[in-house]
């Protein structure tokens, strides 16, 4: 009866290590294959690597690629609306965190989502006749393997494998990743970076970065952020097993030009969220000084400097209605704050969809720089000089 103890005998900590390694492979498969490769087409994968991920996900999750990619694409297309399959802003954080897998299964029953958003996902013989048709066989096979290798310990190891994605992806990323954390960019949804070090969930912790640059294969943005999924992608690219198609756009800075040119305009439009973040950061000291000067005259938010920095990152249409009255009262007390805020909002016209020609937008940008440099607000002048130095990297 010794064979019932499994083919592999490990110390107690060995079983934990093996379980963590197995679940990490699953996480890597989700973030690299399902998310970045399938849903967003941010990279190409060698067929061997692609099929390994597909096979592993069948074993450990029973996941159907077309369903996952379709539901995730709809999440981006309808984010934080009633049509979003799993927004905590709509359903509440408790619902998404604890019942995220149920929300996913409910969305998977809607075949119209697959028809509209499922293009380009695998549709070969093995997908039709095994992975999709017999999706439940995968986890069953994994249970048999775990029991054969690890004996009774294989039961809890398999259970951990089965709950890993529902908890980390459906609960933490879809829930907490749209509810709590820090934001590098004020994009048009509530996405947050849960942690700056994307290791446990393969880089998906950097969710605000991802929603800002949805088709980027790299999820880290700041120098102090780490995306382990990106590290794996680069390692595969070096040996010819992957090819990155897209990363977040970036700007290069050179000597300030006499006036902004078409290259400057293109760089500003392509990097609008980064530009807005830079604007808020560089005007922070000016904002803080003005708020301290006028603070006694108006009802302030709990952290007015931090709040004003958020308002400066946002386009006005994204500022919640309940905050606008406080913002306007604050601007009415300070000509400097009013100038800084409205100059920021004028930049919105450069990157929002409009009927303006490229020549008209360039003229608007040049006029903006002229007024910024004549405003008498030194950080605003310095920011304008930086804009004149921008070009596409």
Question: What pLDDT, on the 0 to 100 scale, is given for residue 356?
Answer: 83
Q: What is the 3-state secondary structure (H, E, C) of 65-109?
A: HHHHHHHHHHHHHCCCCCCCCCCHHHHCHHHHHHHHHHHHHHHHC
Got the DSSP string for 296-343?
A: GGSPPPSSHHHHHHHHHHS-GGGS-HHHHHHHHHHHHT-HHHHHHHHH
Per-residue confidence band for 296, with pLDDT thresholds at 50, 70 and 90: low
Tell me the longest C-alpha to C-alpha distance in the chain: 87
Residue 3 has pLDDT above 60, yes or no: no
Mean per-residue pLDDT over the chain, rounded: 93
Rounded distance between C-alpha atoms, residue 341 and residue 67, angstroms? 43
The per-residue pLDDT for range 120-168, each reduced to its tens digit, is 999 999 999 999 999 999 999 999 999 999 999 999 999 999 999 999 9
Is the pLDDT confidence value at 304 over 90?
A: no
What is d(CA 80, CA 182) in angstroms, rounded to the nearest whole number?
18
CB of 121 within 8 A of CB of 66? yes
Looking at the whole model, is its pTM more than 0.85? yes
171-202 per-position pLDDT tens digit: 999 999 999 999 999 998 999 999 999 999 99
Q: pLDDT tens digits, residue range 209-262? A: 999 999 999 999 999 999 999 999 999 999 999 999 999 988 888 887 888 989
pLDDT in tens, 333-375: 899 999 999 999 999 888 886 778 889 999 999 999 999 999 9
| pLDDT for the residue 104 | 92
Report d(CA 144, CA 49) in Å as an integer. Answer: 24
Q: How far is the C-alpha of 47 from the C-alpha of 49, rounded, in Å?
A: 6
Q: Sorting pLDDT into bands at 50, 70 and 90, what band is 207?
A: very high
**Cα three-residue angle 301-191-184, rounded to 5 degrees:** 70
């Amino acid at each position: 009866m010794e064979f019932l103890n499994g083919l592999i005998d490990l110390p107690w900590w060995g079983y934990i290590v093996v379980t963590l390694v197995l679940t990490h492979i699953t996480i890597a498969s989700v973030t690299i294959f399902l998310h970045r490769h399938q849903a967003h087409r941010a990279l190409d994968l060698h067929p061997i690597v692609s099929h390994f991920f597909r096979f592993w996900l069948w074993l450990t999750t029973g996941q159907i690629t077309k369903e996952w990619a379709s539901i995730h694409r709809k999440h981006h297309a309808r984010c934080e609306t009633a049509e979003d399959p799993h927004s905590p802003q709509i359903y509440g954080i408790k619902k998404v965190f604890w019942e995220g897998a149920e929300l996913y299964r409910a969305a998977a029953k809607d075949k119209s989502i697959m028809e509209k958003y499922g293009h380009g996902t695998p549709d070969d013989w093995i997908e039709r006749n095994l992975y999709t048709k017999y999706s439940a066989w995968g986890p069953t096979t994994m249970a048999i393997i775990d029991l054969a290798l690890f004996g009774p310990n294989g039961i809890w190891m398999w259970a951990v494998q089965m709950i890993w994605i529902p908890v980390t992806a459906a609960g933490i990323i879809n829930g907490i990743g749209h509810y709590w954390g820090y934001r590098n960019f004020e994009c048009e949804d509530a996405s947050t970076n849960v942690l700056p070090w994307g290791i446990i969930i393969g880089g998906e912790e950097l969710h605000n970065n991802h929603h800002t640059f949805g088709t980027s294969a790299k999820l880290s943005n700041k120098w102090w952020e780490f995306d382990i999924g990106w590290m794996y992608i680069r390692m595969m690219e070096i040996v010819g097993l992957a090819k990155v198609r897209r990363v977040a756009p970036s700007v290069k800075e050179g000597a300030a030009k006499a006036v902004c040119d078409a290259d400057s305009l293109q760089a500003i439009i392509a990097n609008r969220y980064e530009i807005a973040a830079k604007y808020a950061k560089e005007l922070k000291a000016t904002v803080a000084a003005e708020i301290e000067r006028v603070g006694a005259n108006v009802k302030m938010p709990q952290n007015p400097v931090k709040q004003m920095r958020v308002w400066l990152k946002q386009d006005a249409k994204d500022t919640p209605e309940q905050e606008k009255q406080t913002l306007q009262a604050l601007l009415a007390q300070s000509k400097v704050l009013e100038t800084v805020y409205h100059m920021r909002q004028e930049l919105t016209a450069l990157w929002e969809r409009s009927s303006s020609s490229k020549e008209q937008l360039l003229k608007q940008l040049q006029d903006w720089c002229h007024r910024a440099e004549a405003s008498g607000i030194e950080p605003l002048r310095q920011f304008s000089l930086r804009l004149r130095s921008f070009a596409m990297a």
